[in-house]
Structure 1
Amino acid sequence: MANAGLDYPQPVRIPRLFAQSAALIVLAAACIPAAASAPAVPAHLRVATALVLHVDDVKSGATQSLDTALTADDAAAILGIAGLTGDLFAQNGFVNGYVRAFAWKDASPLAARAMACTTYLFADPVGAHDTLSLIVRTADEAGVDRMSLGASVGDESAGFQIDTEFKDLLGASISMTTTGVVFRHANALSLVSYRAPSNQDDPGYVIALARKQLDLQKAVAPVGVTIPDLVAAPRVESFGSSHTDATNLVLTVKDVPGGMRARSEGALTAQAFAAGDADTGAMFESHGFLSAYGRVFTRSSQFGKEATVIRSETAILTDNRGAHEAFRDLSDLASAVGARALGTVGAGDESRAFRLDDYEEDASYIEILFRHRNAVSIVEIQFPARLVNEALSVDLATKQVTRQLVDLGMLKPLR
């Protein structure tokens, strides 16, 4: 049932978004909306030294490889982001910072695990917010994958992952994954990153450490400071009764479980939307297929229970009747490949849920199909064999149809 139209992309070369120092790799990334104009707020946190994790907080076997205060120039150098200089840190009200890094003596020095915990303090929350705004733009332009945190860490936060591949001295390929969580609490901007072999990727661990570092900061300043999002200008045009663009009608990283990573996204052809089936794709064309968009999220399963892949796709057809016919074609295709019908789920104007167990691949799938007006959608979740979570599947479908209701002005915009 997997869709060949959204294969995982090849590793992306990016600028110096990572800086290496004493076995330290820091992920610089954030997901923060543009800052609104706001009056300065007195700093709640004044000394960064006690606001980062210690060696006792991380996995056993770690040794402390770096433990030092940071000047504005040091902070900019560690991040290594074009346009983010020590002078800019100073202009944004940088007061002081601290970094503590840890390393593990693994079998291969080239594949050794490393972690960094950093906190930058600014004179007020707006300075921290403005600095993050530049970081997120650079991360997005570099193609860094977004990662769900499940729930926000601090006043505002985001997670990211990036893969790197290289060869050891014997020519064997090594794949490493760096997971980073960035968050702001009051006037403190913090980064927690963990670099490990890709087959040991553990985003839940990094998220938990970020929350532990946040607890250190809350012990000093219990209440954070929220900077209001910019309010979008009201639309001049009226909402239509039909969908016209599928791009915003699929799930985002904010909708999926914590630790899931946005692996790929893009436009889909009719055949790709039909899971590569040429005949069904041709039928979509005859029903008035206009466009489609999809996004894929993945997560390595450490304990063999969680969803490992989520595919979210939506196709736009010329009218409701064509969408209804396409919905029926998709239902027939699911049955043809051996999926078992589970019934309807109450999403959109019509819906059907299916389950497929593929024991040869040690996987089980829940696929929910639904139509809203002239849009047909698929939410497919892959689980370890027999360990499906039907409630999660229905929740994801509900979130996707909610985005479509918002698109036609039938609900308030999502926050």
Structure 2
Amino acid sequence: MRNPSDVFGPEHLPDRLVDAELVESYRASGGSPEELIYLSLGESWSGAPAGLRGALSEEVPDHAHGYTLSPHGLPELRRALRRHIVTTHDLVPEPDTRSNYEVAVSSNGTRDAMFDFGRLLSASGGHEADRVVLLPNPGWDYSGVFEPLGFRVLPYEVSEQDGYRPDVDSVARLLRESRNSRPHALLLLVLNPQHNPTGADWGTGPVRELIRAALRNRAALLVDDAFYAVHDPGADPTNTLGMLLAEASRSELGTRFPWLAVRTLGKQFHCNGWGLGALTAHPDTLRDLARQAHQHSYGAAVPLQAAMAGWLADSASAAYLESSRRDYADKRGHVARRLVRELGYPEHAGFPGRCTSYVRLRVPEWFSCFSEPASVYRKRCLHEAGVLLGEGSMVSEPALSAPASSHVRFFLGPRQRELDAALDRIVEARLGWWEDSSPRG
């Protein structure tokens, strides 16, 4: 990986990310961070398309170096994003009042937008005890966004036995019981249909039923479409936004209820550091979100917004995306085959999926004697193989009643030769599925 000081910062500053602490411990024990293969966070610090980088020097007008007075992002990018969302989600460009929506720019990361959405919901009234968020487990760190806002976290299981798709009946029951026990509570259901960290696509039928259950129980909806565009060639990703608009248009309120769909551009264009994405919601919600954002920031990253607008208008962006999908699919299949053939994994222990940039793996069974098998396995791979794998789930431990995670996440973003090198190192360190010796903590 790159010199850690380039990306993690100086080690004497407090409250660093867990991965930064792990890399520092690796360095302190004699490892070379420059030789470390980093497959954890979903970042390779490379691969941003040349056309996008070129647009940053060629497509930035003078006015983009100052403030933008539009609360919904640089107008040129907002228009480009709206066209992009309408096209890729097959939406009606000019909706009627019952299916109304609008699109705005997220310029400081979609996590920031989720937090503002949570603040907006919290400001609508109710005590902290009456704020409940239902989120997928395993899953991304939604709990880290909503717990600080006073939401009580209710994880719903996304089971490996069910192909990492949620059980619709159990989620509907959670919603119904939460609503019946607290008639005036604020309920929020989080949907992540191109599922991080498993790579599963939840499918049209289950997602439609989840949306209907949310509407029946007067729950707000957050749709995280981070990986909507990251899928195998020929795969048809679940169009949650399109279904939400269709189902809501037949409900009593139409789309005039609290919902937000976020879609980062960082995953599909390898530019997480740009912080750009699309926010789709009812126009009233976007207005209120703009007011929330104005409390802590002005419009940001305006030159990046101008460059992204130019890139989206360039046919090379679509070609890049198609090439990236083929590349991910090839690496996904290649890694899955090597796990079985050379690391001894049974077919069921790795789940390659058809979307996202990850493969989720079960930790070898000979680590089950530890109270935190995934944590021990990650550290062993780091210190003995020089490979830092990712956490198998980012749902906070206090929110869970289940045992500690026994899975890790393998990021597919680097080039195949680097992925092969990582697997070679794990084989050489004898950290595959088979038990070669008694594990050490």
The TM-score bracket by the shorter chain reads under 0.3
Structure scoring higher RCO (CA < 8 A, sep ≥ 6) equals 2
Q: Whose strand fraction is larger, Structure 1's or Structure 2's?
A: 1
The alignment's TM-score, normalised by the length of structure 2, stands at 0.24
Structure with greater helix share of residues: 2
